[in-house]
Chains A and B, each alone.
Chain A
């Protein structure tokens, strides 16, 4: 079965370090979403792309977060510098058009010490 692949599954880093999370969407999907999940905030939409173009990244802290899609097979989410409050599970999802289902990756569990 086709699936969304996220790497790494777990990341432990120290405050101030750069963190890069990667996502391989399902081949043929034209929309990619990045979500962050914490106990306090639930699932927050950080950014999303359509046909590799960023449509909305208003959910991201602009000063430290950036999201890109260098090609159709890779989406990246970077945090620089990382802070303890960034500790969360980050999910990537991909999908077709608005009337099609989303497929989620297994997430990256990030811990910033």
Chain B
């Protein structure tokens, strides 16, 4: 199974940008990179995903390294509501038809 590695925790100040890194050195060519976040007492919710090119949506941006062995989730202006656990996962295609295994995630603390 493809694995991802993330820092256990990060802190940010409110209204400042946040860059959350993820390493996935064993990624295969057809694995999609997904990011989810989990607020307290809730199920994970989708943030963004991509394959090779950088992606932007209303929530965040995803920067993917050229060799695809790492990626960075960018929150452009952190708010208190962005405090959550952020998970970077790989959705495997070839042999595992979309199997999605979560790692430990990064706990983001946003300070006012």
Residues of chain A at the chain B interface (Cβ within 8 Å): 31, 33, 35, 42-43, 45, 48, 50, 55-56, 91, 93, 95, 97-99, 101-107
Known: A101-B34, A102-B100. 15 other contacts (CB 8 A): A31-B98, A42-B105, A45-B99, A45-B102, A48-B100, A50-B98, A56-B96, A91-B43, A98-B97, A99-B93, A101-B46, A102-B44, A104-B43, A105-B43, A106-B42
Binary contact readout B9-52 vs A (1 if CB under 8 angstroms, 0 otherwise): 00000000000000000000010101010000011111001010
Partner of B87, one of A31, A43, A48, A55: A43
Q: Closest residue to B102 on the A side, CB-wise?
A: A43
Residues of B contacting A: mostly: loop
Q: List 15 A-B contacts (CB under 8 A).
A: A43-B87, A43-B102, A45-B99, A45-B100, A48-B98, A55-B97, A55-B99, A56-B96, A97-B98, A99-B49, A99-B91, A104-B43, A104-B45, A105-B43, A106-B43
